[in-house]
Amino acid sequence: MSYFDLSNSKLKIIAAITLTAVGSEILYYALKKFRRIPKAEVENEVLFFPDKGIACPAYFERKSGCNQSVCSYIHEVTNLRRVIIRLREAKKTLDVCIFILTCQEIGQEIVNLKRNGVKIRVIVDYEMANSTGSRIELFRRHGIPIRTKKVLQLMHHKFAIIDGECLICGSFNWTMQAVTANWENVIITSEPGLVQPFAIEFQRLWDEFSCLT
Ligand SMILES: [Zn+2]
């Protein structure tokens, strides 16, 4: 059956749909031209540690869920999980600039991202790179480039940039001590005015620091 064999009512429906689609397109560009449509929504999230417990890995990661009748973990979204959920959103790049990274869960998440093709760069404090429980050696084994600088001063930053458009920063070092015991704050934002200066600073440090050998 050709297009022209369609009944009058069908033709009317097709014409109405086409006109609606074209009309809404014209309206969109007209509104955009006059700045009635806001720019991409900026997302902000503020987290405060310590978490009151550790989120149950089975409950959140297994399809079958947690089968423990009495589970020592908690079955609700913790702040650590919120950070991990954000990291998991990385599609292209993840730049991490952190004083100390010993949290196994975050370490494993970063390795998983690397396996999934995300380009990862890590800047870390020279002394803390080899601290007890540091995940840095694990990263190196997985081919993640690490840079640092052997100086007396601390590389005390704690921030990460996801896909160049989401910033995670605050007092929070990526350690379980910080997750479960310390009072810490974290801001997660897609506000370009905040993300961009951190991205520039990351690149500046990346260029200044040397590969960890
Ligand atoms: Zn559980």
Say what the pLDDT of residue 38 is.
59
Residue 115 maps to which CATH number? 3.30.870.10
189, β-bridge pairs: 44, 167
Q: Same structural domain for residues 121 and 20?
A: no
Query: Model confidence over 102-117: pLDDT tens digits?
Result: 999 999 999 999 999 9
Reported pTM: 0.80
**Pairing status of strand 158-162 against strand 119-124:** unpaired
Locate tokens 């109405």: which residue?
16
- State in Å: Cα 83 to ligand 1 middle: 19
Q: Same structural domain for residues 48 and 22?
A: no
Say what the pLDDT of residue 33 is.
62
Q: Same structural domain for residues 24 and 95?
A: no
Q: Is residue 102 part of a domain?
A: yes
Among 63, 95, 163, 207, the active-site one is: 163
Say what the pLDDT of residue 181 is.
97
CB 208 within 8 A of CB 167: no
pLDDT at 78 over 90: yes
Q: Is residue 63 part of a domain?
A: no
Q: Is residue 108 part of a domain?
A: yes
Q: Same structural domain for residues 48 and 24?
A: no
Q: Is residue 175 part of a domain?
A: yes
Q: Same structural domain for residues 48 and 25?
A: no
Say what the pLDDT of residue 9 is.
73
pLDDT band at 42 (very low <50, low <70, confident <90, very high): very high
158 catalytic residue (yes or no) = yes
- State in Å: Cα 209 to ligand 1 middle: 42
- State in Å: Cα 74 to ligand 1 middle: 6
Closest of 74, 78, 135, 136 to residue 104, by C-alpha: 135
Considering only residues 11 and 195, tell me which one the structure prediction assigns the higher pLDDT. Answer: 195
Say what the pLDDT of residue 8 is.
72
Q: Is residue 135 part of a domain?
A: yes
What Rg, from alpha-carbon coordinates, does the chain have? Answer: 24
Percent of the chain at pLDDT > 70 equals 89
- State in Å: Cα 180 to ligand 1 middle: 17
User: How many domains does the chain contain in total?
Assistant: 2
- State in Å: Cα 76 to ligand 1 middle: 10
Say what the pLDDT of residue 28 is.
67
Q: Is residue 78 part of a domain?
A: no
CB 164 within 8 A of CB 29: no
Closest of 192, 191, 189, 194 to residue 44, by C-alpha: 189
How many DSSP H helices and E strands does the chain contain?
7, 8
Q: Is residue 18 part of a domain?
A: yes
Domain around 24 = 7-33
Q: Same structural domain for residues 22 and 96?
A: no
pLDDT at 17 over 90: no
- State in Å: Cα 50 to ligand 1 middle: 20
pLDDT band at 41 (very low <50, low <70, confident <90, very high): confident
Query: Model confidence over 23-36: pLDDT tens digits?
Result: 777 766 666 666 65
Query: Model confidence over 148-193: pLDDT tens digits?
Result: 999 999 999 999 999 999 999 999 999 999 999 999 999 999 999 9
Instruction: Classify residue 69 by its DSSP letter.
Output: S
Query: Model confidence over 58-74: pLDDT tens digits?
Result: 999 999 999 999 999 99
Q: Is residue 96 part of a domain?
A: yes
- State in Å: Cα 208 to ligand 1 middle: 45
Q: Same structural domain for residues 109 and 193?
A: yes
pLDDT at 1 over 60: no
Exposed, middle or buried: residue 58 (CB in 10 Å: 0-12, 13-18, 19+)?
middle
| Residue 147 dihedral angles phi and psi, to the nearest 5° | -125, 150
Closest of 83, 138, 151, 137 to residue 112, by C-alpha: 138
Rounded to the nearest integer, the mean pLDDT of the chain is 91
156 catalytic residue (yes or no) = yes
Q: Same structural domain for residues 19 and 99?
A: no
Among 5, 156, 157, 207, the active-site one is: 156
